Structure 1
Amino acid sequence: MTQALVDIIPSLPKVVLHDHLDGGLRPQTVLELADEVGHELPAQDAEELGTWFREAADSGSLVRYLETFDHTIAVMQTPEALARVAREAVLDLAADGVVYAEQRWAPEQHLRRGLTLPDTVEAVQAGIDEGIREAAARGQIIRVGQIVTGMRHTDRWQEVAELAVAYRDAGVVGFDIAGPEDGFPPSRHADVWQFLADNNVPVTIHAGEAAGVDSIAQAVHLGKADRIGHGVRIVEDITFSEGERRAELGLLAHWVRDHQIPLEVCPVSNLQTAAAGSTIADHPITRLKELDFAVTLNTDNRLMSRTSMSHEMRLLVTEAGWTIDDLADVTITAAWSAFIHHDERRALVDDVILPGYQKIEGAQP
């Protein structure tokens, strides 16, 4: 029964690779931190504020969606605030059954009150470490890494890349670029990608969300991306026929699938920004998975989308007909796509995810 599967989703082990630190704050935390720094918010009640974030993000525009971050970033400008937000993110993810997470965020956006780039990374790591300890005390085991992000429309990519190298063994697991995708391609600072490759830093690039196939091509070929953030517009390089029963892949789609480059798909967020689909049922994630692309399931921004990994899974089960095997598949794919070493990925799959699914008896949709 579908309901039986829905009921056990919270207890399933989960992996999230695309979750923005500054997009996952608790509304009450935003209120309290805003009060401390005198930042004016559009609502003064936690429930109302959460609703405002969701409605603003539901505009159908990525540009408007990104504007909501003006408020979260404004209250994340001190070591204490950064550590608190990171700690709470870890606890919230662990409570949702997440066993491995990568938190991405842009250090350059948190320097308004005098912090340096290293200061921000260290503050976030302190919060992550505390959150992991607290989660463990509650019987919830989770591992979390940082992905440091350069903003597409600024010129600090190299600085942030150097930050990723400097903290590669101190909590940072990878590099990303984010922000307005259309008009700010990876070629904007082409040298940074070779620098990262020379220093063995894994790369994920937001692409195929607000821009199409050309953006994905640059991410893959110039940016040397190990994963693609979103990537759902790869369907623009696929021709469907016979009621979508047949699919003819273009050369780029073949390349992405042939190389099993993981797609960090975020269904609820994609609907909000009009990146793909109009409902969960017709979102490309299901078709891409059926075509054997390396699909992973993610939250993007838990605050703006009022979502969680459990919520994303429930929607796919109830609206797109996913089974427990589908959920296991995207979770295992995500674990094998994590920015950790091969032996650590194997342990995550063999010792945590598979046993977590296997202990669920009678969990068939």
Structure 2
Amino acid sequence: MSEQAVIRPEIKALPKVLLHDHLDGGLRPATIVELAEQNGYVGLPTTDPEALGRWFREAADSGSLERYLETFDHSVAVMQTADALRRVASEAAQDLAEDGVVYAEIRYAPEQHLEGGLTLEQVVEAVNEGFREGESASGNRIVVRALLTAMRHAAKSTEIAQLVVRYRDQGVAGFDIAGAEAGFPPTRHLDAFEYLRRENAHFTIHAGEAFGLPSIWEAIQWCGTERLGHGVRIMDDISTDDAGADKLGLLAAYVRDRRIPLEMCPSSNLQTGAADSIAAHPITHLKDLRYRVTINTDNRLMSGTSMSQEMQLLVDEAGWTVDDLRWATINAMKSAFLPFDERLAIIDDVIKPGYD
């Protein structure tokens, strides 16, 4: 993946909006070590926090989404108690606020945190409590909402969707499905998506990362997703004519015309082989074509990244300007699963003054 950028203070100070960040992919290495000791987990490759952080990044640098996902075995293993979930959620909110993030949607799969005897409801309530603690500890400089994720290969999607509706007034903003795309199309979970639409609930779908246009098409046209998690493979439907002009296929045109947000994660895509470099990452081409692109971290631990890091890399390696960053940040806030008046207030009162 790309070398770590030297983050300039002006980039660090910019207000940021994060729509695609995994709770189990953003733990502090020192927290993993401490929680492993507290809970008797002995599977860590090392108990030295610095070396552990390095191990996560190197293990994720494989070019394979499947291998990338294996790194989560360790982080999920230490997130099996209510206290651990509260701590991890609180620290995530604090870390993001310290990086200048003013609004974040952090996703996690409740079904992956049941090994210690918790119920799905207890998992959601513990994470919600952690987010509120983190907001408060950060001086309320950040607003955090949860996205509840169902795993593509499992059969709990409708149950997780029902949790979204039950807890939507308690900090849960929406629903997501994640996991390996190949062999597990989003249409396997149509019952969940139809339920969410009947209940006027929000959802996004991981699509167009490791698998191509069929995954994106199904997510939009069959499932009705509001946003695309990654969506980088929409480039497969964009060609160049003899004069060098871009030619959009029907799906690519539809995504742009409908202003469907793309939750793009540059550094993560390098690790999973969905892009070759930051300079060549489709996010810049799609920005120039005026798609509704947003900048995201995906998994801060595995990618050794932050929102400031992602922004600085785009400036240094892909020629982005501060105006581009402002545009993408407003794109993200417009696309958040938050009531319209609350989105508008953050744009007008926080983002625009912060960039001006």
- For the aligned pair, the TM-score class normalised by the smaller chain equals over 0.9
Q: Aligned partners of 2:87, 2:133: CA distance in 1, in Å? A: 9
Question: Could you tell me which amino acid in structure 1 is paired with residue 51 of structure 2?
Answer: E
Query: Do the aligned residues in 2 keep the contact of 1:18 with 1:102 (CA within 8 Å)?
Result: yes
Aligned match of 1:8? 10
Query: Do the aligned residues in 2 keep the contact of 1:193 with 1:222 (CA within 8 Å)?
Result: no
**For 2:103, what is the secondary structure of its paired residue?**
strand
Residues 8-27 of structure 1 mapped to structure 2, 5 A cutoff: 8-27=10-29
Residues 137-156 of structure 1 mapped to structure 2, 5 A cutoff: 141-156=141-156
Residues 231-250 of structure 1 mapped to structure 2, 5 A cutoff: 231-241=231-241, 245-250=244-249
Q: Aligned partners of 2:168, 2:100: CA distance in 1, in Å? A: 26
Which of 44, 49, 68 is residue 46 of structure 1 equivalent to? 49
Q: Aligned partners of 2:200, 2:71: CA distance in 1, in Å? A: 34
1:55-95 superposed Cα distances (whole Å, 9 cap, x missing partner): 11000000000000000000000000000000000000000
1:313-358 superposed Cα distances (whole Å, 9 cap, x missing partner): 0100000010000000100000000000111111110010000011
Aligned match of 2:186? 186
Query: Do the aligned residues in 2 keep the contact of 1:23 with 1:300 (CA within 8 Å)?
Result: yes
**For 1:99, what is the secondary structure of its paired residue?**
strand
Q: Tell me how far 1:182 sits from its aligned partner.
A: 1.1
Question: Could you tell me which amino acid in structure 1 is paired with residue 97 of structure 2?
Answer: A
Query: Do the aligned residues in 1 keep the contact of 2:216 with 2:234 (CA within 8 Å)?
Result: yes
Aligned match of 2:272? 273
Query: Do the aligned residues in 2 keep the contact of 1:5 with 1:324 (CA within 8 Å)?
Result: no
Aligned length: 351
Q: Aligned partners of 1:303, 1:248: CA distance in 2, in Å? A: 37
Q: Aligned partners of 1:4, 1:172: CA distance in 2, in Å? A: 34
Query: Do the aligned residues in 2 keep the contact of 1:6 with 1:317 (CA within 8 Å)?
Result: no
Aligned match of 2:77? 74
Q: Aligned partners of 1:214, 1:303: CA distance in 2, in Å? A: 30
Q: Tell me how far 1:240 sits from its aligned partner.
A: 2.3
- Tell me which moved more, 293-302 or 185-194: 185-194
Aligned match of 1:83? 86
Residues 213-292 of structure 1 mapped to structure 2, 5 A cutoff: 213-241=213-241, 245-275=244-274, 277-292=275-290
Q: Tell me how far 1:33 sits from its aligned partner.
A: 0.5
1:283-338 superposed Cα distances (whole Å, 9 cap, x missing partner): 00000010011000000000000000000001000000100000001000000000
Aligned match of 1:131? 134
Q: Aligned partners of 1:319, 1:27: CA distance in 2, in Å? A: 28
Question: Could you tell me which amino acid in structure 2 is paired with residue 303 of structure 1?
Answer: L
**For 1:190, what is the secondary structure of its paired residue?**
helix
Q: Tell me how far 1:4 sits from its aligned partner.
A: 12
**For 1:173, what is the secondary structure of its paired residue?**
strand
Aligned match of 2:119? 116
- Tell me which moved more, 189-198 or 11-20: 189-198
Query: Do the aligned residues in 1 keep the contact of 2:20 with 2:229 (CA within 8 Å)?
Result: yes
Question: Could you tell me which amino acid in structure 1 is paired with residue 219 of structure 2?
Answer: A
Q: Aligned partners of 2:212, 2:282: CA distance in 1, in Å? A: 14
1:4-24 superposed Cα distances (whole Å, 9 cap, x missing partner): 994300000000000000000
Aligned match of 1:334? 332
1:213-261 superposed Cα distances (whole Å, 9 cap, x missing partner): 0000011111211100000000000102469x41100000011000000
> TM-score under structure 2 normalisation?
0.97
Aligned match of 1:315? 313
Query: Do the aligned residues in 2 keep the contact of 1:216 with 1:228 (CA within 8 Å)?
Result: yes
Q: Aligned partners of 1:344, 1:241: CA distance in 2, in Å? A: 43
Does 1:208 pair with 2:208?
Answer: yes
**Where do 5+ consecutive residues of structure 2 fail to align?**
none
Question: Could you tell me which amino acid in structure 2 is paired with residue 334 of structure 1?
Answer: A
Aligned match of 1:160? 160
Query: Do the aligned residues in 2 keep the contact of 1:265 with 1:296 (CA within 8 Å)?
Result: yes
Structure 1 residues 83 and 5, CA gap change in structure 2 (3 angstroms): closer
**For 2:138, what is the secondary structure of its paired residue?**
helix
Aligned match of 1:348? 346
Q: Aligned partners of 1:92, 1:282: CA distance in 2, in Å? A: 29
Identical-residue share of aligned pairs (%): 60
Aligned match of 1:303? 301
Which of 285, 291, 294 is residue 293 of structure 1 equivalent to? 291
